[in-house]
Structure 1
Amino acid sequence: MDKPVIILGGGIVGMAILLNPVPLTGSKVSSLEPNVSCFAGLNFPSTSVVDVLGLCLSLEADAQSLSPGSHVLTSARVISLSPDPEGGYDLTVRQGDAIYELTSSFVVNAAGLDAPSMYTELFDIPRGEGPRHYFCKGHYYGYQDRSIINSPVYPLPTKDGGGLGIHGTKTVDGDVVFGPNVEWMDEEVGIDGLTKSDGVERDYWGVENEPVIKEAFVESIKLYLPNLNPDKLSYSHCGIRPKLSHPSMGEDYVRQHDFYVGEDEDRWINLFGIESPGLTSSMKIGQVVGDMVKKRLQEGG
């Protein structure tokens, strides 16, 4: 069996990602990661694990501090939209039994998985003719031995794999997690979004044929961690990636950009295809969007 090439991440706390890679021989990788077997590796000492909840709470606190009166409404849905005579939009938002009437000079559609379907629905774009996501599901497994890896370990991604390969990472608490795999969902789901117009979210988060999935995980992980004990591997959770392209596109699939940020309507900015790298890129994405809004408002458009 050919040994893979491995990408290693250090444990330095910070947001700098993939800077100044250090080439490593297979033996050098083994000195850093004794359980890893590989031909060669790249070490990125500045990578880190992000505390997702902590980051979101910090951003919420910053928004409320810098802009008093700001509110963050979770589990809320925009149910109607109309242009405001003075520019911008009037929106009706439902959160549970509460209804909010809002007016905004600018709207940023950062609705995640459902961002394209919300945009096409609110602007009456015919089904299938507007932007859309292709959903790619990925499962994760926890591992009961924290010493199996010391830092994030990534095999090189395949050209058409839809992801980075089943890699091993550590949580902020030090637990080991492997994943995700690649499981393309029905293309029709990507057109309609996870939440249909009736506001009911379907259950796309379950797992089927878990023993088969686990077997594939074990086979993939053992390519670079041959001493993996399958009995210590247990199912954890799944996630869904919002892709902007699909393998059915052929060569165009690998040429598609990762993120889309654009003003597709007057004073309406769409954010599509924001996968998990969008978390570590969130500050920069916010800066880009902020600059777009500032420029438009200064132009008086």
Structure 2
Amino acid sequence: MWITPLLWPVWCRAGPGSFSRTTTRVPGPARHQTGHNSGVIHSGVYYRPGSLKARYAVGGSAELVAFCERHAIAHQVTGKLIVATRRDELPRLHALVQRGRENGIPVRELGPAQIMEYEPQVRGLAAIQVGTTGVCDFAAVAERLAGSAREAGASVRYGARVTAVDRRPWGVAVRTAAGEIVRARALVNCAGLQSDRVARLAGDDPGARIVPFRGEYYELARPELVRGLVYPVPDPAFPFLGVHLTRSVDGTVHVGPNAVPALAREGYSWSVVRPAELAATLSWPGTWHTAREHWRYGAGELRRSLSKRAFAAAVRRLLPAVTDADLRPAAAGVRAQAVLRDGTLADDFVIRRAPRTVHVLNAPSPAATASLPIGRAVARRALAALAEG
């Protein structure tokens, strides 16, 4: 029996998580999003109780920490602050307290003086401290998972572009651009930015279109200003967490991301434009529904994209000591956001089964945190697809 995660290395330019932050195309695991995200092990505090994101994040975060300990992978359980800087954010902050407790997550409420005990340079009206949030080296996690797969007899291939998927009575045949035919009894499509296209190649309707959003980051020139992880109170209407500060296991502090429409599925800068991909995005009805409903929010994101001063002003809401000169440009990334026909931004994992095929059509943050439970869930669906065949 060969259940192949073929489409992960073949099509996935951005692995699990929020934004990928590299465009390097070299063979190997974690060369895109998985190895170049903020490295945060999410606790699950944001997610609706009972949702896949909540279940996978809460269980997956503890499991990932244990995995890192077992394999001597760099990690820290630092906790994080979610800080309200305006009065209109206080009800949303209190809602997060309730949501965290419903998900079984330890949450502590803080006042202004207590905020400064955790983060002396951070200012806010109120905050919550989430003790189970951490950071790790996701590239090392991916390397270890790939090694485990090979040890179990799997073949891992990189850099092969899929051009055709053909279901047969015995399984699935996949053709690559190099003319190679790969055969398997079942296919798992975890193709990130290309997941909807791979689903259509297999003859399945994904029911959504991947609309790429670029996340633009800066690195803090004075990392000593931040001890750990500091987040604003997110807007629940969007699957983005706002501009935040994250200290990585190597001690660097990244600031961001904002979220702007990318002009290509791998549009890591404004200069990367692929007309056919852009046309496909613009022809999707959901794109226009989203634009009409959220144009004000989008205008603010665009302004921060085009103006470092505006970006720094957003950071100063949390960290008043930051100056424009403290922000050094860092690599951007692209989020594979599934958008439904009616403009709804898919906010949970979307995993669909078809004959001999499993499609992972939306794997938003906290997918990297939840990689182990997600892998088991996908494997169960693949086994069920095999049983049906």
Same structural fold, with TM-score higher than 0.5 when normalized by the shorter chain: yes
Match of 2:188 among 103, 108, 113: 108
- The answer to whether 1:261 aligns with 2:351 is yes
Where is the helix percentage greater, Structure 1 or Structure 2?
A: 2
Aligned counterparts of 1:133 and 1:18: Cα–Cα separation in 2: 32
How do residues 1-301 of structure 1 correspond to structure 2 at under 5 angstroms?
2=86, 19-65=105-151, 67-68=152-153, 70-86=154-170, 88-94=171-177, 98-123=178-203, 130-185=207-262, 194=265, 204-207=267-270, 212-245=306-339, 249=343, 252-253=344-345, 256-263=346-353, 265-297=354-386, 299-301=387-389
User: Deviation at 1:229?
Assistant: 2.1
Aligned residues: 263
Which amino acid counterpart does residue 42 of structure 1 have in structure 2? I
Output the CA distance in 1 between the equivalents of 2:228 and 2:341: 31
User: Any idea what the Cα deviations from partners look like across 1:89-136, whole Å, max 9, x if unmatched?
Assistant: 111234xxx5432211110100111110122134286xxx85311222
* Aligned mates of 1:162, 1:247 — CA distance in 2: 17
Larger-gyration structure (1/2): 1
> Counterpart of 2:217 in 1: which secondary structure?
strand
Structure 2, unpaired ranges of 5+: 1-84, 94-102, 272-302
Equivalents in 1 of 2:216, 2:341: separation in Å?
Answer: 19
Contact 1:241 1:276 in 2 (8 A): no
Stretches of structure 1 lacking an aligned partner (at least 5 in a row): 8-16, 195-202
Which of the pair has the greater relative contact order for Cα pairs under 8 Å at 6+ separation?
2
Residues 225-250 of structure 1, C-alpha deviations (whole Å, 9 max, x = no match): 1111221211101111122237983x
Higher strand share: 1
User: Aligned to 1:103, what secondary structure does the other structure show?
Assistant: strand
Q: SS state of the match for residue 58, structure 1?
A: helix
Q: Does the C-alpha gap of structure 1 residues 149 and 55 become closer, same or farther in structure 2, counting only changes over 3 Å?
A: same
In structure 1, how many angstroms separate the alpha carbons of the residues matched to 2:339 and 2:330?
27
Over 3 Å counting, the alpha-carbon distance change for 1:34 and 1:248 in structure 2 is farther
C-alpha distance in 1, partners of 2:327/2:172? 50
Give TM-score, length-normalised by structure 1. Answer: 0.78
> Residue 136 of structure 2 aligns to a residue in which SS?
coil
How far apart, CA to CA, are the structure 2 residues paired with 1:271 and 1:174?
33
The alpha carbon displacement at 1:220 in A equals 0.8
